[in-house]
Structure 1
Amino acid sequence: MSGPDVPLAPPVRAGDPATRLDGLPVTRRHVRLLLGSGVGWTFDAMDVGLISFVIAQLAVVWGTDATALGWVASAGFVGMAVGAALGGLLADRIGRRQVFALTLLVYGVATGASALAGSVAVLMVLRFVVGLGLGAELPVASTLVSEFAPPRIRGRAVVVLESFWAVGWILAALVGYLVVPSGENGWRWALALGALPAVYAVVVRRGLPESVRFLQARGRHAEADRVVAELEASRAVGHGGLTGAQVRDGGRSDGAGAGGPVAATAVETGADAAVAPAVETAADAPAAGGRPRLAELWAPTLRRRTAALWLVWFAVNFSYYGAFIWLPSLLAADGHTLVRSFEYTLIITLGQLPGYAAAAVLVETWGRRRTLAAFLAGSALAAGLFAAASGDAQIVGAGLLLSFFNLGAWGALYAVTPELYPTRVRTTGAGWAAGIGRTASVLAPLAVPQLREAGGTGLLFTVFAAVFVVAALGALALPERTGETLT
């Protein structure tokens, strides 16, 4: 009796693993990687979103003033700033998958422990620890997906990953609406649900592959080849899969393997293979050997993109977290009941999903830079409309627009960030950009009470609109790398 078409142990093929990886069609293992990373991303967003509902209830049940509550939110963002910077460096040294699983464990356990906090001080300390895990997880997960995705859809894959943020934020809004107002301890039950990532960390550690490019950069070529061979043996989505002979033959369905993996991709997907992707020159990449260092991000060929990227991350974080962390509290302060404030926040949050969908299409048609700048300009317009809104319908409408444009901008930002750096310092670059951004997310919750006291919600959102304009200008200074091969 003949054996199966695809052997249980995928055959080892000749050729550079990264080149073979880029030539693959989208397989079921690609989808599993995206979904596995996306679930972690969902938990991350749910945790960040929950704190906005928690601080709104603590103002009632504990009588905590706005300044102290601002520090509760900011403590988590301090941890995220530290975690993003350290997590990126660590992932470039020990691997993306290892750090991803570790971060889920850290913030899952710390979030569960936060449900037992008996004072603002204890809650602040635990939120800092939560932030360490959250901050490290986001750039590492986006880099992992970026390094696996075929170049022609890499930006779209990262935006789809980022769209799981909307799923998590919507879950947070549902928990906030249904659980937090249920009683004085509603916020505790809400945070207890945030312990789920600790369990999921085991799944991540066992189920997700390590980055092929990381393995190659660390000299672990046999492992890199094995990961690619498993992907080559996986069934292609929408193409009926590949036989074992076709895997060995470069994935061609016609039996002619001379074209190699790149030609195979054109046959499998209908992609235009006539235009070869641009590749960074050797001068663009820091020298190989030794451990990755922060100073390498400021090499002559990288310093302009690093400066522009840090500016964009800082500005986007300031306006996004300043607006959305305080949104339920701002609505309550403007005269709405706590339940109505949570209801409006839930409705506004729904605008995130179509924003991601639009960005996922445009990053591959318009390009990363143009999409990012356009969505940031839209965010500025929406923030201005929110500043001028007077009735409930106008507030919800402007909030929906802000969700649409702002979260679409986040998707484009996560798509472009890992592409700007070579493999050796990719998560270092992404992590430090996120870390710089998190310093703004620390400042924003502290600045909101002062800005609102000085000029009300109108002044507050006018400031956010101006900062979005700065972010859009910074985005225009970034290089465009749509469709290029990662180095």
Structure 2
Amino acid sequence: MIINPLDDAPLTRFHKKLAVFSSGGPFLDGFILSIIGVAMVQISDQWHLSAAAQGLIAASTLIGILFGAYVGGRMTDRFGREVLFTIDLIAIIAFSVAQFFAPNVIWLIILRLLIGMAVGADYPIATSLLTEFTPRKYRGPFLGAFVAMWFVGAAVAYIVGQLLAQTGDVNAWRWMLASAAIPAIIIVLARIGTPESPRWLVSKGRHDEADEVMRKVYGPSVSVTDLPQEEDANVGVKDLLRSGYGTRMAFITLFWTFSIVPLFAVYAFAPKILGALNLSGDAVHVGSAVITILFLVGCVIALFLVNRVGRRPLLIHSFLWSGIALALLGFFPNASTWIIMALFAIYAVVIGGTQIMQWVYPNELFPTEIRGTAVGMASSLSRIGAAVGTFLVPMALDSLGIGMTMLIGAAITLLGAVLSHFMAPETRGMTLTESAALGTAPAPSRQAAPVAA
């Protein structure tokens, strides 16, 4: 294996700080999407909201993420990673504070739509920057940690929301929504001074600036001459889809969709689903909390496995065994409480592999010039399926029943396993140039170079 000063650099304090600051985006995503669930109780009472209005408020952030991820991806490839790395968080701070003064439901929906756009934009910006600086040995775990941070943000949101709700303040819901500005301020201050990606600078012909960054990060003996030559990928969206990268985009979008459609449905409607499975009272609330924790546990376990077992086996097995768990729930909806909770626990833990690969594969399979665009587009397209699936879950439970609903979720998940078997490449141990180059990425059957854990 060829040693490269960038891809094989030792892990430094700079890399660790960048990983933490970059994961601020998914933390805020989990916080913002979860805090609205706690705040909605008080908002609905004060504004006498209909079910449709509540749905629009909850969905507005997801819709914003859909557009923001694509726009952010395009902008980060055009204008660079460094500037947008802080601008998007400043927007989150401003719109979060503005929610405190929202006079009616229309303004609240608009503000949450704008927040969603800023959150969505941060994903391709932050992941591109982290990918292009991180040594290959740590790239998979660092990118996978993005998903884990989403669940950390969600857990913090529930704690903050409950504490504020217990104050009895009529404006508690306003404080809840505005509270997202606090972690956003901390993150944006921490991000100040982050250098631009030397790979992106070189792609724009700014070699002197790239040299300066590389000497600062990797040492005085490293320069742009140490950057591997990437193939020319200066293409638009239509050209991207028509080129060989179109197949990769299709794979990423499909496996991402197959992964999050059942997961979003289970996560969003866990109490309702558990109730339909004959759980009641405290068992529903405890079960919902346990499932949330286990989603995080599953992501953490997957972080330790992504380099040990490889990307492709992790994705396939994650889809396979989580799909089987959902299928058993569908075939045996009247099983005992302990069996139901055990199957849900298996699903929540095992699906973690597909969750972390949502950020590993898109960043490894596309070159620098279109990496942000590709990540943003895949994130946006997958949200469409997730939104539709989440919207249909309550109707499916009412019209089809819990058993058939779980079987549909199982079918979608197992379809992801089949797709991954035929299309998932193995990129473990590769440099970014190797994994992103058309014609050189390994076929599914090829073994990747071993990497130490």
**Normalising to structure 2: TM-score of the pair?**
0.83
Number of residue equivalences: 425
Instruction: Give 1:77's aligned amino acid.
Output: L
- Please state if 1:309 is matched with 2:252: yes
Q: Secondary structure of 1:91's match?
A: helix
1:253 paired residue number: none
Aligned equivalent of 1:369, options 303, 312, 336: 312
1:484 paired residue number: 430
Distance 1:124 1:33 in 2: 32
Aligned pairs (5 A) from 1:292-307: 292-307=235-250
Residue deviations 1:93-149 (CA, integer Å, cap 9, x gap): 111232232222223332333344454433322221111011111232122211111
Aligned pairs (5 A) from 1:311-326: 311-326=254-269
**Structure 1 residue 389: Cα displacement:** 6.2
Distance 1:159 1:59 in 2: 36
CA contact (8 A) 1:376 1:468 kept: yes
CA contact (8 A) 2:82 2:196 kept: yes
**Structure 1 residue 356: Cα displacement:** 1.9
**Structure 1 residue 394: Cα displacement:** 4.7
- Please state if 1:135 is matched with 2:116: no
Alpha carbons of structure 1 residues 188 and 72: separation in structure 2 relative to 1, 3 Å: same
Distance 2:284 2:167 in 1: 15
Instruction: Give 1:144's aligned amino acid.
Output: L
Instruction: Give 2:302's aligned amino acid.
Output: A
**Structure 1 residue 373: Cα displacement:** 2.1
Q: Secondary structure of 1:481's match?
A: coil
Aligned equivalent of 2:196, options 210, 217, 221: 210
Residue deviations 1:435-458 (CA, integer Å, cap 9, x gap): 101112332332222222213444
Distance 2:377 2:252 in 1: 10
**Structure 1 residue 374: Cα displacement:** 1.6
**Structure 1 residue 426: Cα displacement:** 0.5
CA contact (8 A) 2:24 2:187 kept: no
CA contact (8 A) 1:180 1:189 kept: no
2:442 paired residue number: none
2:175 paired residue number: 189
1:431 paired residue number: 376
Alpha carbons of structure 1 residues 196 and 479: separation in structure 2 relative to 1, 3 Å: same
2:86 paired residue number: 101
**Structure 1 residue 332: Cα displacement:** 7.5
Runs (5+) with no aligned partner, structure 2: 434-453
Please tell me the root mean square deviation across aligned C-alpha atoms, in Å.
Answer: 3.2
CA contact (8 A) 1:22 1:150 kept: yes
Aligned pairs (5 A) from 1:119-158: 119-158=104-143
**Structure 1 residue 57: Cα displacement:** 5.8
Aligned equivalent of 2:360, options 415, 424, 430: 415
1:269 paired residue number: none
CA contact (8 A) 1:372 1:413 kept: no
Instruction: Give 2:243's aligned amino acid.
Output: P
1:444 paired residue number: 389
**Normalising to structure 1: TM-score of the pair?**
0.77
Alpha carbons of structure 1 residues 441 and 51: separation in structure 2 relative to 1, 3 Å: farther
Identity across matched positions, percent = 29
Distance 2:78 2:252 in 1: 23
CA contact (8 A) 2:326 2:347 kept: yes
- Please state if 1:353 is matched with 2:338: no
Aligned equivalent of 2:7, options 22, 30, 33: 22
Aligned equivalent of 1:227, options 195, 207, 213: 213
CA contact (8 A) 2:76 2:124 kept: no
Distance 1:104 1:62 in 2: 29
Instruction: Give 1:122's aligned amino acid.
Output: W
